[in-house]
Structure 1
Amino acid sequence: MCELATEATYVHHHKQKLVLVLSAMRHFARELRQQGFKVHYVTLDAQDNSGSFFSEIESVLARSGCQHVVLTEPAEYRLQDQFRHWQQQHPQWQIDICEDDRFLCSHGSFRRWAQDRKQLRMEYFYRQLRQEYGILMEQGQPAGGQWNFDRENRKPLPANKVMPTQPQFMPDEITLDVIKLVESRFGQHFGSLESFHHAVTREQALLQLSHFLDSSLPLFGDYQDAMRQDEPWLYHSLLSTSINLGLLNPLEVIQAAQERWQQGQAPLNAVEGFIRQIMGWREYVRGLYWLYMPEYASRNYLNAYRSLPSFFWSADTDLNCLQQCISQTRDYAYAHHIQRLMVIGNFALLAGLDPEQVSRWYLEVYADACPFNCLYWDFMARHESLLSQNPRLGLTYRQLHKMDEEQQQVLQQSARIFLKSLDQTD
């Protein structure tokens, strides 16, 4: 195992993300040694750290005399490309690449599902995985007689509703050392380290899972689309980092949630909504990424090229919805899916921000209730030729066409003034 500066700096990852990954690696190495495994671990500040995955592997092979290398497939295309090139350069070694067991659907399975389909809809992919794994199924049919309970999961949060507290995993000696290292080496990166409480071991991740199942899952469905100022967690699980790191297996999380429904401890709409985030969206988006890379990274269907405004890092904006989401992201490296999609993502879409820059920002920092209607209508008017045939947007365009000319001009002028201000922020 090796810690590489290049992996921390190819984009400027949030400082909490760096601490999370490095601390989890060091804790895992300690656990392996305690179990009797021999671990070669190269820390970031080690004098003999070569700074290269491949140099470190070659060094171990040279010292040990081994000829057989077993790797897990990389999670990013850039790393996969580098590993393939390295593999071609070293035919003298047997190099086996294993599938990533942090996911349920292999690349090959997704390609077979996608083949010859006119549209790649997440809903149909999700249904197939449900059937394949027997999740929320009763005699071959979806539990409750329907696949999707989204309509039940859009309730407003009552003003007097008290949110469940979240576990606070206090940094131990290993994590404190990593915090010092990250602050000294990557102090210029985005984010704060004052409130680092992420799970960095499997034991902690299991405690987080248990807490979610007990305290939040029963109401997750009702309020999964809700937002409240100064409430970053609501009923969300905070399990995504643990699943992505491999501290939790996605299927064990899914089955644990299903068991709560089977035992009558959580309603079906909550359990289905939670499972869909993991078995549906997580698997589907990963499948699309590998299906269409590398050109997928540079797609820009709407020709949006505006640079990100500076407040995406400073949170210094009068738009309260964005100020709240970005400040929270800075403090915790976290925002729930509605904040990421319907606030930040929606703003980026309406403002015409460059999708490649937006994608890079999301990668760095993670971790539609924004009142600027003029941006929405200006966006719809600008792209009517491309979007008007979408059946889900028919009502939107009928509303647009009902506006009188003066109202449309006011909206367009307001949008132009605001978008011009974005170009002048730097």
Structure 2
Amino acid sequence: MGDQLSLDISSLKDARKTKDVIVMAELYNEITSVRHHKKKIVFVLSAMRHFAETLKAKGYKVDYIRLDDGNDFQSFTDFLKASISKHNVESIVVTKPSERRVVNEVKGWRDALSLQVEVRDDDRFVASIEEFRTWAKGRKTLRMEYFYREMRKKTGLLMDGDEPEGGKWNYDKQNRKPAAPDLFIPKPFGAAPDEITKNTMRLIQKHCEGHFGDIEPFRFAVTREDALKALDDFIENALPLFGDYQDAMLQDERFLYHSLLSPYINVGLLRPMEVCRRAEKAYADGHAPLNAVEGFIRQIIGWREYMRGVYWLGDGDYTEQNFLGAERALPWFYWSGETDMNCIRQVVSQTREEAYAHHIQRLMVTGTFAMLAGVDPLEVHEWYLIVYIDAFEWVEAPNVIGMSQYADGGALGSKPYAASGAYINRMSDYCKHCKYAVTKKTEENACPFNALYWDFLARNEKKLKGNPRLGQMYKTWEKMDANTKRGYRSRANALLKKLDRNERL
């Protein structure tokens, strides 16, 4: 499948070049059931096409169906029925898909196809789904930090015997520096589109014209060889300062010191552990400091593994959770970028053009505003799934529903990521170029985040006041005089009414 582009994936490990047939398909329904960013579709399809060529060059028999072959298959099942009729098939081997919807389809293959179907675990992850379930069993709340420590011990990454390298598990407090525009910031690796990619771009421009996002310029790697070059470039040029500035935002520097490797890891062009080992070696060689390397590795064997584990817990209704009862429609400017809030305008415009924004832009700008404004978390989830090149449901849904929107009531994160404009001003230069004044509170030209922050706490007081990490903020709210409180709530109410009327904000 499109996110299984690894030569050593479990379904291919014993594939016989003389006998077995590897089947791959581009299905129109798969790229339009969610109206993904055009650049994301180009990336996945071009990577699939290149991977198929790699398999053929290695001597494997590949049955590959392309969108422009005129196929009208409605599902993987329909495609397999047609493929089976062409080959002498005894059984089907597949690595377990990453998404529940597709797993449910695969479960029906044995009956639908009247063949033996072997579903193998996806062993590209550090922790199996069962291992995570065992770790999570009996815990009232799940905290990534404790799971992450188990993954450090299991892999041996940045370990000094039984203790963490440097004496601490987590150096996040050192990774919150705002960036200055005069920093030397390297440009991320970019791969020039070859003919396969150019043909894919033309195809998607034709078939997916109404989808969100720009196709050009297209700079993503679509082969393992180029993905490895991107890894080399990050380790050499950006990793040393990744830690210091990983939470920073600059309006004219969209990528800062971030790796942009997540799309390649998520589709299988890079292996998670090889990426982590390269970063670890950079620390051992004195090329990158511990806070940078630990922070980077934590994103992969900590958050990434943790998100997958959370996704596969329960009965598959995770995206339907709405602890705060938020029901407002997603604001139209999440698609257009047409807002006077410069931070959101910058992030949405970048997202439309690049299919990328880094984790703080997603969490503390578009994510925080949606939560403060009471936007339906399912709509927020669907937006993130559509617009980002690395957004696959297993990793995106827990990040949005649990971490960003607190819709699971704290099962994943210890507190809502609510913040006023002061946080964005501290970590970015967005506010310097904004129509709204971040230092003002309730005036007409005051930053909307300021009033919405206090209104969010007030209207959710019954559900959130008992959270120990919000205790100080509720004490501050209680100490405010009645006029100040009324001012915040009145300003927030006016802003929310503008959202409901689809007026410019």
TM-score range relative to shorter protein:
over 0.9
User: What does residue range 57-136 of structure 1 map to in structure 2 within 5 Å?
Assistant: 57-90=80-113, 92-136=114-158
Answer 1 or 2: higher relative contact order, Cα 8 Å, separation at least 6. 1
The amino acid of 2:493's aligned partner reads R
User: CA contact under 8 A between 1:164 and 1:235: conserved in structure 2?
Assistant: yes
Partner of 2:472: 395
2:292 alignment partner, one of 245, 270, 277: 270
Alignment partners' CA distance in 2, 1:225 and 1:251? 24
Partner of 2:382: 360
Alignment partners' CA distance in 2, 1:317 and 1:97? 47
1:293-340 per-position Cα deviation (integer Å, ceiling 9, x unaligned) = 421110000000101111111000111100000000000000000000
User: CA contact under 8 A between 2:28 and 2:67: conserved in structure 1?
Assistant: yes
Counterpart check, 1:261 vs 2:283: yes
> Scaled by the length of structure 2, what TM-score is found?
0.82
Structure 2, gaps ≥5 residues long: 1-23, 390-422, 426-446
Q: For residue 422 of structure 1, report the CA deviation from its aligned partner.
A: 0.7
Alignment partners' CA distance in 2, 1:168 and 1:48? 32
Partner of 1:384: 461
> Scaled by the length of structure 1, what TM-score is found?
0.97
SS at match of 2:313: helix
Partner of 1:52: 75
Alignment partners' CA distance in 2, 1:413 and 1:86? 57
1:145-184 per-position Cα deviation (integer Å, ceiling 9, x unaligned) = 0100011011121342121112221111000000000000
User: CA contact under 8 A between 1:224 and 1:236: conserved in structure 2?
Assistant: yes
The amino acid of 2:120's aligned partner reads C
Alignment partners' CA distance in 1, 2:178 and 2:424? 12
Q: For residue 49 of structure 1, report the CA deviation from its aligned partner.
A: 4.3
Alignment partners' CA distance in 1, 2:338 and 2:123? 41
The amino acid of 2:101's aligned partner reads R
Counterpart check, 1:341 vs 2:396: no
SS at match of 1:292: coil
Counterpart check, 1:420 vs 2:497: yes
1:18-68 per-position Cα deviation (integer Å, ceiling 9, x unaligned) = 000000000001111111111100001213442321122122222222121
1:214-261 per-position Cα deviation (integer Å, ceiling 9, x unaligned) = 001000000001000121100000000000010000010011101111
User: CA contact under 8 A between 1:77 and 1:293: conserved in structure 2?
Assistant: no
Percent of aligned pairs with the same amino acid: 50
1:144 alignment partner, one of 166, 175, 181: 166
User: What does residue range 291-330 of structure 1 map to in structure 2 within 5 Å?
Assistant: 291-330=313-352
2:424 alignment partner, one of 369, 372, 376: 369
The amino acid of 1:121's aligned partner reads R
Alignment partners' CA distance in 2, 1:124 and 1:346? 25
User: CA contact under 8 A between 1:230 and 1:324: conserved in structure 2?
Assistant: no
Alignment partners' CA distance in 1, 2:308 and 2:115? 30
Partner of 1:350: 372
Counterpart check, 1:224 vs 2:301: no
User: CA contact under 8 A between 2:42 and 2:201: conserved in structure 1?
Assistant: yes
Q: How many correspondences in the alignment?
A: 425
Alignment partners' CA distance in 2, 1:119 and 1:194? 43
User: CA contact under 8 A between 1:42 and 1:49: conserved in structure 2?
Assistant: no
The amino acid of 1:270's aligned partner reads A
1:92-146 per-position Cα deviation (integer Å, ceiling 9, x unaligned) = 4221111123422111111111011122110001000110111111010011101
Alignment partners' CA distance in 1, 2:481 and 2:59? 75
Counterpart check, 1:42 vs 2:65: yes
1:332-390 per-position Cα deviation (integer Å, ceiling 9, x unaligned) = 00000000001111111100001001000000000452742100100001111111111
Task: Using the TM superposition, name which of 290-299 and 235-244 deviates more.
Answer: 290-299
User: CA contact under 8 A between 2:25 and 2:64: conserved in structure 1?
Assistant: yes
Alignment partners' CA distance in 1, 2:499 and 2:111? 47
Task: Using the TM superposition, name which of 29-38 and 156-165 deviates more.
Answer: 156-165
Alignment partners' CA distance in 1, 2:260 and 2:49? 21
Alignment partners' CA distance in 2, 1:223 and 1:48? 47
Alignment partners' CA distance in 1, 2:123 and 2:456? 41
1:270-299 per-position Cα deviation (integer Å, ceiling 9, x unaligned) = 000001111111111111111034211100
Query: Over aligned residue pairs, what C-alpha RMSD do you find?
Result: 1.2
Partner of 2:33: 10
1:390-413 per-position Cα deviation (integer Å, ceiling 9, x unaligned) = 111111111111211111100001
Structure 1, gaps ≥5 residues long: none
Alignment partners' CA distance in 1, 2:160 and 2:215? 46
Alignment partners' CA distance in 1, 2:456 and 2:100? 32
More helix by share: 1
Alignment partners' CA distance in 2, 1:203 and 1:159? 33
Alignment partners' CA distance in 2, 1:28 and 1:51? 23
Alignment partners' CA distance in 1, 2:212 and 2:124? 27
User: CA contact under 8 A between 1:61 and 1:67: conserved in structure 2?
Assistant: no
Alignment partners' CA distance in 1, 2:249 and 2:261? 19
Partner of 1:185: 207
Partner of 2:260: 238
Alignment partners' CA distance in 2, 1:141 and 1:126? 14
Q: For residue 89 of structure 1, report the CA deviation from its aligned partner.
A: 3.7
SS at match of 1:321: helix
Partner of 2:407: none
User: CA contact under 8 A between 2:347 and 2:361: conserved in structure 1?
Assistant: yes
